[in-house]
Amino acid sequence: MDGRILRNEDYSIKRLGSFGADLALVACFFETPWTRLAPGLSPDAQARLPNQAGYYLRALGRLAEAVDPMVLGLAADVKNQDWNNAAIAAGNLSVLRLTLGDLPGAVTDAEQSVMYTTLSGNVGLHVVELTEVANALHQAGRRAEALERFVAAEQMHAQNQPGDPLLFSVRGFHYCDLLLVPVERAVWQQLSGGHPPASPMLAVCHSIERRASKALDVANTRRFGPLSAALDHLTLGRICLYASMLESSNAGHRRSASEHLKAAVDGLRSAGAQYRIPSALITRAWLRSLERDDKGASVDFDEAWDIAERGPMRLHTADIHLHRARLFRDRSELARARALVERCGYWRRKQELEDAEEAARTW
| All residues at 6 or more sequence positions from 69 whose CB lies less than 8 Å from its CB, including other chains | 34, 35, 50, 51, 53, 54, 57
Assess whether 285 and 242 both reside in one domain: no
Which has the closest alpha carbon to 98: 51, 50, 140?
Answer: 140
- For residue range 62-80, list pLDDT tens digits in order: 999 999 999 999 999 999 9
* Whether the predicted pLDDT of 3 surpasses 80: no
Domain count, the chain: 2
How far apart are alpha carbons 250 and 290 in whole angstroms? 12
> What pLDDT shows up at residue 18?
66
> What pLDDT shows up at residue 4?
38
SS3 category, 363: coil
How far apart are alpha carbons 282 and 7 in whole angstroms? 36
Q: Please report which confidence band the pLDDT of residue 329 belongs to, taking 50, 70 and 90 as the band edges.
A: very high
How far apart are alpha carbons 149 and 219 in whole angstroms? 23
Q: Please report which confidence band the pLDDT of residue 199 belongs to, taking 50, 70 and 90 as the band edges.
A: confident
Q: What mean pLDDT is predicted for residues 118-143?
A: 97
Assess whether 265 and 323 both reside in one domain: no
Q: How many residues does the chain have?
A: 363
**34: in domain:** no
**259: in domain:** yes
Q: Which runs of E-coded beta strand occur in the chain?
A: 30-32, 36-37
**267: in domain:** yes
* Whether the predicted pLDDT of 8 surpasses 50: no
Mind spelling out the 3-state secondary structure of 253-309? HHHHHHHHHHHHHHHHHHHCCHHHHHHHHHHHHHHHHHCCCHHHHHHHHHHHHHHHH
Assess whether 296 and 322 both reside in one domain: yes
Cβ(281)–Cβ(300) below 8 Å: yes
Containing 118, the helix (H) or strand (E) segment is helix 103-120
DSSP classification of residue 228: H
**191: in domain:** yes
**298: in domain:** yes
Assess whether 289 and 258 both reside in one domain: no
Q: What mean pLDDT is predicted for residues 116-130?
A: 96
Assess whether 268 and 292 both reside in one domain: no
Cβ(54)–Cβ(67) below 8 Å: yes
Q: What mean pLDDT is predicted for residues 235-252?
A: 90
**102: in domain:** no
Assess whether 200 and 255 both reside in one domain: yes
Assess whether 260 and 184 both reside in one domain: yes
> What pLDDT shows up at residue 336?
98
Assess whether 212 and 250 both reside in one domain: yes
**35: in domain:** no
> What pLDDT shows up at residue 182?
96
> What pLDDT shows up at residue 6?
39
Domain of residue 337: give its range.
Answer: 281-363
Choose one of 272, 300, 323: the last residue of a domain.
272
> What pLDDT shows up at residue 198?
84
